Structure 1
Amino acid sequence: MKLVNLSVRRPVGVIMVVAAILALGFVSLRSLTIDLYPDIDLPIAVVSTTYEDAAPQEVERLVSQPVESAVSAIEGLEVLQSQSQAGASLIFMQFSTGTDLDSTLLEVRESVDQVNQALPEGAGEPNVLRFDPQQLPIMTIGLSGDSPEKLQQVAEDQLIPQIERQGGVASVDIEGGKTREVEVLISRSQMAQYDLNTQTIMQTLNASNQAASAGSIQKGDQDLQIRIDGEFDSIEDIKDTIIQSSSGARVTLSQIADIEEKYESSTVSEVGGQPAVVLSILKKSDANTVQTADNVRSSITEVEDDLPVNTNTEVVLDTSEFIKTSINSVFLNIILGGIFSIIVLMLFLKSFRATLVIGIAIPIAIISTFTLMYFTGETLNVLTMGGLALGIGMMVDSSIVILENIVSYRQRGYSMVESAKEGASELAPAVIASATTTLVVFLPIIFVEGIASELFTPLALTISFALITALAVSVTLIPMLSSKLLTKPLQTSGRRYWFDRFLAKVNDRYRSLLRIVLRWRKTTIALTLASIVGSVALIPSIGTEFIPPSDQGQIQINVDMPAATSLEGTQEATDKVDAQLKTFSDVIKVRYLTIGGGSMGGIGGGTSDSASYTIQLVDPDQRKSSTQAVVKDIDEELRGIAGADIAVSELDAGLGTGAPLQIQLNGTEYEVLDELSQQVVYVMEDVEGVSEPTSSTEEGRPEMQIEVNREKAAEYGLSDQEVITQVQTAFTGQIATRYREAGEEIDVQMILPEDQRETIADLEGMSVQTPTGSVIPLATIADLEQVQGPVSLLREDQQPQVNVESNVIDRDLGSTTDDVRAQLEELNFPDGYSYEIGGQAQDMEEAFGDLGLALIFSIFLVYAVMAIQFENFLFPFIIMFSLPATVVGITSGLFITGLPFSLPAFVGIIMLAGIVVNNAIVLVDYINILRSKEYDRTEAILEAGPSRLRPILMTTLTTVLGMVPLAIGIGQGAEAQQPLAVTIIFGLTVSSFFTLILIPVVYTYFDDLSNKITGIFRKGKDEA
């Protein structure tokens, strides 16, 4: 090849090119975005609309349904879901893969604008947002040491502005603090005495709190701006506000209301059992997680000295720590894999210089891969880095074949330069063809859709880049280095001769085994089929799962109290939980509690009857139990707490794929769906592996329904809206105005005194003011009834839906899903009602289907490449018989290691389709070469087998040993690649054995068939 000759003749040029590539690779490595997993680009939009103080039923009827109808016809919409809860509507829209979400969001906004005017009065402006289920906080910082109100001010004035200025930070959410507000506690009797109503007071407060410009005047040669400053500066200004009634009475606000300053909070946060304000940092979608976290840490260090005395900051959670640990673990696995490969090369090549030639090629290929990753927009994550670790052994295969042929020429007396030229040129086409069979298996993965493609396309591209760069190195750098370093032939004797003697014995045994299998061909085929059938029988006992969970040492505890429980009541339950968690102090590094919080990026929100713990365990080397084992122990410990529904689960941040098992119940009536969900929960509790099944309907929230009697209200000159406004002002309050004091903006809220809005009697006896100024009890014009209202209402594709979700513990997801499906089939669903299995179980089934199709196409592409290479359709078909035997290795490997069959394992099977045929190619190709030299068929097989055994062992061992560190699961974050590595190691090892034994037998059968067909054609010609 011209490229080989050019590289040997121009070594300086090759070195310069390599140096430039290495420099570019190092620059690319520093610029690559680092994350835990590849970005899953799911085109999801959300429409968020507030409807203050409205019950879920009204939110669904008046807001959710109109918006659903407006957006349902948008092209590419696959899933339309809505969640209606008290005061808020959320519409989720998932579009087909590949949808340009930017242009689609414009369509969504246009559709929403068309119904915006039809939304009820009091509904807020609908917000159309891009939604990323993976967008979780990358860091959580606790601020403690002072009162919540002062901590809130410190956070808002000093920490948040500093953090938001840092590169990569998108936003900072705050929980646990208290905000300052002014309450105007109105007195109905005083208002009636002065003939005043709430509307007049609110208008007066707002009008009295104004500032405006009034033009300008001249003073000498200057223009002076006229500004009227009527804004409130203090609470005294509010108290002194003069209010004039319609009858002409003039009073100050303090005469008809009590004005108080208060610090209010809807959430409570604790870090390590101490009250704290907690900051959650979200990064920009394209930002480097590790770099962003480092920037935030640096910014906190800068302001720590300026914080008030006794105010402490603590990093509660930092996902970048796990990412760094995981990436470092993969780097370690790459180094170990490279060392194992070099040891194999030293054993076989018996030359330090020859090993050095290939050893140099490994880091060059890896660093060059970083350049290609950067220019294709890939991130540095555990899957792409795992791809490099998996490919470390395969990288040297091409170089081994080229180098061994160069060495053979060197031993025949050729000069270093001639050996490099002739040896590399002779096998370069075969090496390119062999590498192509490995590369083409990844093409279908790139073109499949869904989460499987999102996750494993980066891995496929990374391995492909590594193999392409390794191939380029093998036909350029290897010949050049060989022409300079191989000053003498390889050793044929000496201190490593023991290995040659060992290989000689192996060759002899292999030749004897070949004679036996060629004599007992039918027995060999039968034993192979029996092995395949036996391994298939193991599949049910292996089980399946979606993605192996990473042991990040993070646990979440959700505490749900009976609906409408107060903040104080929920806090009593969490105090009991805290007491139980103290028994786990040896494994808990830090715990973070929030009561009433739980919003995600401002979408949705929590209630006072729910609390959530986020627990970070100590590092795995400092505890004896896995995170899942600790979850089980904590769950058993907390079951004794009465009055609270407590769910303990392991957090696996990064994918955002939802609950492991989700049953979606669909129908027309929520009441029927609620009853069905309770039945589903009941039957799921008896299924092994199902943990904490819960229904989305939850316990109904008690509510007081007020039905205004329009006729009676009209008699007093009142409308429905006027009654609603007065009730809202009295019990929830209304913001009359805002004023600034010392740079802080403070709400002024009108509301009844607390002792007049606590009980049902307070509501029934509430005074309603008529337009004439008289006061009547609310019960006079309205009927009040206590009912159980829903907490939230779900709809999918504009039909009511109820979900039942559960975790899966101590069992694989696939088997658990099958058992749950069997239980559901026994339930009698009414007409018009059905169920679907969603969550990770649905994602797993869809991904397996996509990858199954990709595997079929991969096998076809491998056959097509070999047919082109051999210019024959028969020999590639013989080689393909090495594929079925991989089933034996795959199933036995997963069974022995106790790993369920998962997405990474499926990707390993696709990779095997391109790897295992290489050994058969080498063997069949050499048999054909010998037969072309007039060798008898049996002689050719007995000669080709032992002759090709050495390179087959070398390439197999380097590939297998290069993946051993990942298969062992060394370091954190290795769980995602472990099934993939185990699949390839066992599959390739067993397949190599069957290739060496089975392929020669299959070759003879097809040769006999070919001869018989040829004989029939010849006989026909002779007779003609």
Structure 2
Amino acid sequence: MKLISTSVKRPVGVIMIVAAIIALGIISMRSLVIDLFPEIDLPIAVVATSYQDAAPQEVENLVSRPIESAVSTVEGIETIQSQSQSGSSMVIMMFSNGTDLDQALLDVREKIDQTKGFLPDRAGEPNIMRFNPDQLPVMWVGLTGKDSAALTQIADDQIVPYFERQGGVASVSVEGGKDREIQVVLDQSKLQQYGVNTQSIVQALNSSNQSASVGTVEKGNKDLQIRVKGEFESIGDIERTILQTEAGATIHVEDVAEVQDTFKDSSSVTLVNGTPSVVLSILKKTDSNTVDVATNITHGIAELNAGLPSDVNLDVIIDTSQFIQMSIDSVVKNILIGGAISIFVLLLFLKSFRATIVIGLSIPIAIISTFILLYFTGETLNILTLGGLALGLGMMVDSSIVILEHIYSYRKRGYGLVDSAIKGASELAPAVIASTTTTLVVFLPIVYVEGIASDLFTPLALAVSFALIASLVIAITLVPMLSSKLLSKAMEDSGRRYWFDRFLDWVKGKYRSVLKWVLNHRKTTVAGTFLAIAGSLALTPFIGAEFIPSADQGQLEIRVETDAGSSLIHTEGIVEQVNERLQGYEKDIETNYVSIGGGGFGGGMGGGSNSATYTLQLVPASDRDKTTTEIVQNIDKDLSDVPGAEITVSSMDSGMSMGDPIQIQLNGPEHAVLTDLAEQVVAEISSVNGVYNPESAASEGVPQLNIIIDDDQAAMYGLTQEQILGQIQMQFTSQVATQFREAGHEMDVTLLYPENKRSTISDLQDMKIQTPTGTLLPLEEVTDFQEMSGPVTLLRQNQQPQMNVTSDVVERDLGSVVSDVEDVLADINLPEGYSYEIGGQAQDMADSFADLALALVFSIFLVYAVMAIQFENFLFPLIIMFSLPATIVGVMVGLFVVGIPLSIPAFIGIIMLAGIVVNNSIVLVDYINITRRKGVDRYEAILEAGTSRLRPILMTTLTTILAMVPLAMALGEGAETQQPLAVTIIFGLGVSSIFTLLLIPVVYSLFDDLTQKIVGRRKKKKA
């Protein structure tokens, strides 16, 4: 081992390299992007299209279905979903993993371009985008004051430009503001008197509000550009716009309409802690650091408040970086606690501060080296990558412990410092490399696992792998070098820690006695092991399963739905009742943000005037007595009897957009039948224990008045459907004629009729339709009216109607609830042509578990292959592999005792155990073989190997287990995600170590007897 010899003989070079690594690591750590979770690569594209004033049925038939048909042939698409609601369509394409989404988006754009000509004239330009969870805002900031119009202007002119200049900010959007508008309120009687129609007014306003360049002229030696300036400069210019009547007379706009400088009708209201506010949501750039962006914005708020009017205040409503920062801090704290525990264990065993320093240095250097590798691989610093460091903390010193102990054995034989370091490290370096390799190879299949499980835990696997590789390099370079300089008197038996040595001697004596017993009762030992495994597997129904443990982020959502078609004012009244009932939770609620008629916290396709969305930010978990789930249940109970509204309370504590825990997708040919089935499913699954707030996507129908045009009657008057439709739209909706610019602001000039002429059914029935000859006739002369209920949103999947039923899960694990729900659904008789599927987190969990199970099988095979290469033998690796089944006992008992279900993090822990637990068995079997080669009897060799290897096995096991205890206790914010992983490894490794020390010697002796019988038979045959 030339590398070891060089590092020992040239310590200055090693020290300089370590110093460079530390410096580079600190720089890398400061440059790493900080986030809560790794970036999830979801191969999803969205096509959003508007279709103004169209009902959901029209949107589905004329917009959604043509787009679905067009994009369905794009290669790589697994699922197409569409949502059609009044005025808008959203088509969602989910691609198979591994699809080149950039190329797929180009293909989608090409298909959409070919379809544009078939879309209705009033349909907007299709907007094609890539779905990215990072597109959610990182902060919401509230601007409060007395005058909403002034707040909107301050937000647009001062705050938005300032925030968008801050580092890492991608965009800032404003909600709850008032948009200025120039309204041209038409007088119908004067229009009839002068014989002017609305179309001529639109044309006049447009043509009178134009500026253009028309050429150049020479003036001396200069060219002057000729520009005709005709834009409106004041409201008076709009009022004085000239109109031509049918008789050829000239009038002005003010003769037939009143021009008002006002604001657009508000479709939403935002309240922050009960106060009307303008809310700004801030999105970060994809590669920006969430914490840095939030810090920049927070500092900017302090600077902006100093320059705002005294009655205006700017405050943070929701800051997602706070939970990220608290989670990162808690993981770092757990790493420090785990590191301190590991150092204490080393000091206890080694009895030397110098020896402890030699090994302890491998921890910070390995962590710093890992930061460098994470930076250059493009990973972020999140609770999973840091959790990987915390989990690998104890394993980082394993190689160094083995090397140091062997160096010390040479020192006891009388070798010099340098010779001891070189010989001791060189002899065990191959074994240490092989041992570390068995731990590393288990992560190889995880890299090839697809889906969410891969996106979340590949970074964790990389973090652990980088840390172990760095610790291995340190063990065979830095540890020998430091040993040659610092261990002149280290680890000498001077009586210190004598009580611990005496305790270890007592443990060795007890272990030797138990080992003798199991070797003399081999069948009983094997049978007992099988019974223990069977008993632990019997705990499976009591443990259950879930996708990913949710962290108590302290955010909850309240959705308020009043009767379909309710006005904004009516919904505000319901919100006031909800606010009164929330006053009892003031000590737990830090921020109360409600959007009435808007999209709420998550945005999306927006809400209607009959909906309101609350986002409540609770105080940190350490400052309240109840969990978020308990508060959700209490609030839900208190709001259950609010009259005139359907209220749903749910937690937002996952930290990731993983969808609903349970989503039942009903498919079939008719929307109406699916709606009835959805209501039936909601009623049936409500009785399942653990199902919480089940709801159907089939909202109560919006009351609508259908106008049925009598084509024959209309033709008698020379009218077409398009002409009648256009006049009705003009009467009951507004029409933007042109734009008015003032002081750098641009606003709509809108034509509309007075409110009292377009609000009631009688206004519609009394409306006059103008024929091509100028005659006016009542609308009901050529139409019939039919009042009915229309759908709010129409869903389709894979070009077939769909309806979803969703539910949260409380007080039970997801796996058990899904099993009970499937039993209930199996008893429902679905009509022919209708089916259901379980989606949401339940489907993601099943897919991820299947992928990880396959990864576990491959990991076990790779571990066996590595050991076969190391031993150059197939039998001894097979013996060592018997330590794996016993691991199940520890895993199942651990999850049962702690009371947490099997989840993806726990499954990752099982995969990691496949590479960890064999290391102790490798050490034990290898030493048995070494002892037997010296001529020692098998029985005595096993006893000697067991007692002599007990100390290093205890050392490595305890450092690994105790370093993970803080994570297993879920100390701090966000630690719930790593808890199953830590619990799995602690109990799995702990119990497996006991079985390794007792079962592996028994299995070794049984296989040795079997080998001798086979060899004996072969000799007899030959004889």
Shift of 1:206: 0.9
Structure 2 CA distance for aligned equivalents of residues 683 and 695 of structure 1: 12
Tell me if structure 1 keeps the 8 A contact 2:665–2:837.
Answer: yes
Structure 1 CA distance for aligned equivalents of residues 734 and 996 of structure 2: 79
Tell me if structure 1 keeps the 8 A contact 2:185–2:258.
Answer: yes
Q: Deviations over 1:310-344 (max 9, x none)?
A: 11011011111111111111111111111100111
* Equivalent position SS for 1:597: coil
Tell me if structure 1 keeps the 8 A contact 2:600–2:614.
Answer: no
Tell me if structure 2 keeps the 8 A contact 1:337–1:962.
Answer: yes
Structure 1 CA distance for aligned equivalents of residues 261 and 841 of structure 2: 49
**Which residue is equivalent to 2:997?**
996
Is 1:102 equivalent to 2:69 in the alignment? no
Tell me if structure 2 keeps the 8 A contact 1:177–1:267.
Answer: no
Give the letter for the 1:251 counterpart. I
Is 1:686 equivalent to 2:687 in the alignment? yes
* Equivalent position SS for 1:772: coil
Structure 1 CA distance for aligned equivalents of residues 924 and 221 of structure 2: 101
**Which residue is equivalent to 2:116?**
116
Using the TM superposition, name which of 47-56 and 216-225 deviates more: 216-225
Structure 1 CA distance for aligned equivalents of residues 559 and 749 of structure 2: 35
**Which residue is equivalent to 1:154?**
154
Correspondence 1:566-577 to 2 at 5 A? 566-577=567-578
**Which residue is equivalent to 1:126?**
126
Tell me if structure 1 keeps the 8 A contact 2:594–2:600.
Answer: no
Structure 2 CA distance for aligned equivalents of residues 785 and 563 of structure 1: 18
**Which residue is equivalent to 2:450?**
449
Using the TM superposition, name which of 99-108 and 459-468 deviates more: 99-108
Give the letter for the 1:18 counterpart. V
**Which residue is equivalent to 2:61?**
61
Q: Deviations over 1:99-136 (max 9, x none)?
A: 22112111100000001011111111111111124532
Q: Deviations over 1:199-242 (max 9, x none)?
A: 11111111111112233334444433332222112222212211
**Which residue is equivalent to 2:637?**
636
Is 1:38 equivalent to 2:38 in the alignment? yes
Q: Deviations over 1:586-644 (max 9, x none)?
A: 11111101011117887522211111111111122211111111111111111121111
Q: Deviations over 1:906-963 (max 9, x none)?
A: 0000000000000111111111111111111111111110110000000000000110
Is 1:864 equivalent to 2:902 in the alignment? no
Using the TM superposition, name which of 906-915 and 619-628 deviates more: 619-628
**Which residue is equivalent to 1:15?**
15
Structure 1 CA distance for aligned equivalents of residues 43 and 662 of structure 2: 23
Shift of 1:719: 1.7
Is 1:90 equivalent to 2:90 in the alignment? yes
Structure 1 CA distance for aligned equivalents of residues 134 and 801 of structure 2: 26
Report the TM-score, using the length of structure 2 for normalisation: 0.99
Tell me if structure 2 keeps the 8 A contact 1:704–1:784.
Answer: yes
Give the letter for the 2:227 counterpart. R
* Equivalent position SS for 1:117: helix
Q: Deviations over 1:334-385 (max 9, x none)?
A: 1111110011101110000000001111100000000100111110000000
* Structure 2: runs of 5 or more not aligned: none
Structure 1 CA distance for aligned equivalents of residues 785 and 357 of structure 2: 88
**Which residue is equivalent to 1:911?**
912
**Which residue is equivalent to 2:513?**
512
**Which residue is equivalent to 2:618?**
617
Tell me if structure 1 keeps the 8 A contact 2:294–2:321.
Answer: yes
Structure 2 CA distance for aligned equivalents of residues 985 and 944 of structure 1: 25
Using the TM superposition, name which of 714-723 and 471-480 deviates more: 714-723
Correspondence 1:530-609 to 2 at 5 A? 530-598=531-599, 604-609=605-610
**Which residue is equivalent to 1:289?**
290
Structure 1 CA distance for aligned equivalents of residues 942 and 873 of structure 2: 19
Shift of 1:489: 4.3
Give the letter for the 1:936 counterpart. D
Structure 1 CA distance for aligned equivalents of residues 231 and 68 of structure 2: 43
Correspondence 1:964-975 to 2 at 5 A? 964-975=965-976
Structure 1 CA distance for aligned equivalents of residues 999 and 321 of structure 2: 49
Give the letter for the 2:196 counterpart. L
Is 1:223 equivalent to 2:223 in the alignment? yes
**Which residue is equivalent to 1:374?**
375
Give the letter for the 2:503 counterpart. F
Correspondence 1:398-413 to 2 at 5 A? 398-413=399-414
**Which residue is equivalent to 1:670?**
671
Give the letter for the 2:923 counterpart. V
**Alpha-carbon spacing, 1:602–1:198, altered in 2? closer, same or farther (3 Å):** farther
Structure 2 CA distance for aligned equivalents of residues 249 and 774 of structure 1: 20
* Equivalent position SS for 1:975: helix
**Which residue is equivalent to 1:79?**
79
Using the TM superposition, name which of 659-668 and 239-248 deviates more: 239-248
Shift of 1:185: 1.8
* Equivalent position SS for 2:971: coil
Tell me if structure 2 keeps the 8 A contact 1:322–1:552.
Answer: yes
Correspondence 1:944-1023 to 2 at 5 A? 944-1022=945-1023
Q: Deviations over 1:116-175 (max 9, x none)?
A: 011111111111111124532110000001322111111111111111122222221211
**Which residue is equivalent to 1:140?**
140
Alignment: residue pair count: 1022
Shift of 1:259: 2.1
Is 1:275 equivalent to 2:286 in the alignment? no
Structure 1 CA distance for aligned equivalents of residues 972 and 277 of structure 2: 34
Using the TM superposition, name which of 1000-1009 and 433-442 deviates more: 1000-1009
Tell me if structure 2 keeps the 8 A contact 1:70–1:112.
Answer: yes
Tell me if structure 2 keeps the 8 A contact 1:188–1:767.
Answer: no
Shift of 1:459: 0.4
Q: Deviations over 1:776-823 (max 9, x none)?
A: 211111122111111011111111000001111111111111111110
Shift of 1:872: 0.6
**Which residue is equivalent to 2:214?**
214
Q: Deviations over 1:13-51 (max 9, x none)?
A: 111111111111111111111100000011111111111
Tell me if structure 2 keeps the 8 A contact 1:670–1:801.
Answer: yes
Q: Deviations over 1:489-528 (max 9, x none)?
A: 4132423011111100100110100111111111111111
Structure 2 CA distance for aligned equivalents of residues 910 and 638 of structure 1: 45
Is 1:880 equivalent to 2:881 in the alignment? yes
Is 1:941 equivalent to 2:942 in the alignment? yes
Report the TM-score, using the length of structure 1 for normalisation: 0.99
Percent sequence identity over aligned pairs: 60
Tell me if structure 1 keeps the 8 A contact 2:370–2:463.
Answer: yes
Using the TM superposition, name which of 285-294 and 503-512 deviates more: 285-294
Correspondence 1:194-205 to 2 at 5 A? 194-205=194-205
Give the letter for the 1:117 counterpart. G
Shift of 1:5: 0.5
Give the letter for the 1:302 counterpart. E
Correspondence 1:230-245 to 2 at 5 A? 230-245=230-245
Tell me if structure 2 keeps the 8 A contact 1:410–1:489.
Answer: no
Tell me if structure 2 keeps the 8 A contact 1:192–1:773.
Answer: no
Structure 2 CA distance for aligned equivalents of residues 882 and 249 of structure 1: 101
Tell me if structure 2 keeps the 8 A contact 1:411–1:490.
Answer: no
**Which residue is equivalent to 2:302?**
301
* Equivalent position SS for 2:196: coil
Structure 1 CA distance for aligned equivalents of residues 167 and 459 of structure 2: 25
Q: Deviations over 1:258-287 (max 9, x none)?
A: 222322321100111000000111112222
Tell me if structure 2 keeps the 8 A contact 1:134–1:654.
Answer: no
Using the TM superposition, name which of 489-498 and 687-696 deviates more: 489-498
**Alpha-carbon spacing, 1:415–1:32, altered in 2? closer, same or farther (3 Å):** same
Correspondence 1:246-395 to 2 at 5 A? 246-264=246-264, 265-395=266-396
RMSD (Å), alpha carbons: 1.2
Structure 1 CA distance for aligned equivalents of residues 251 and 866 of structure 2: 94
Tell me if structure 2 keeps the 8 A contact 1:197–1:773.
Answer: no
* Equivalent position SS for 2:658: coil
Tell me if structure 1 keeps the 8 A contact 2:7–2:480.
Answer: yes
Q: Deviations over 1:529-554 (max 9, x none)?
A: 11111111111011111111111111
Structure 2 CA distance for aligned equivalents of residues 232 and 658 of structure 1: 50
Tell me if structure 2 keeps the 8 A contact 1:134–1:656.
Answer: no
**Which residue is equivalent to 1:892?**
893
**Which residue is equivalent to 2:808?**
807
Using the TM superposition, name which of 211-220 and 354-363 deviates more: 211-220
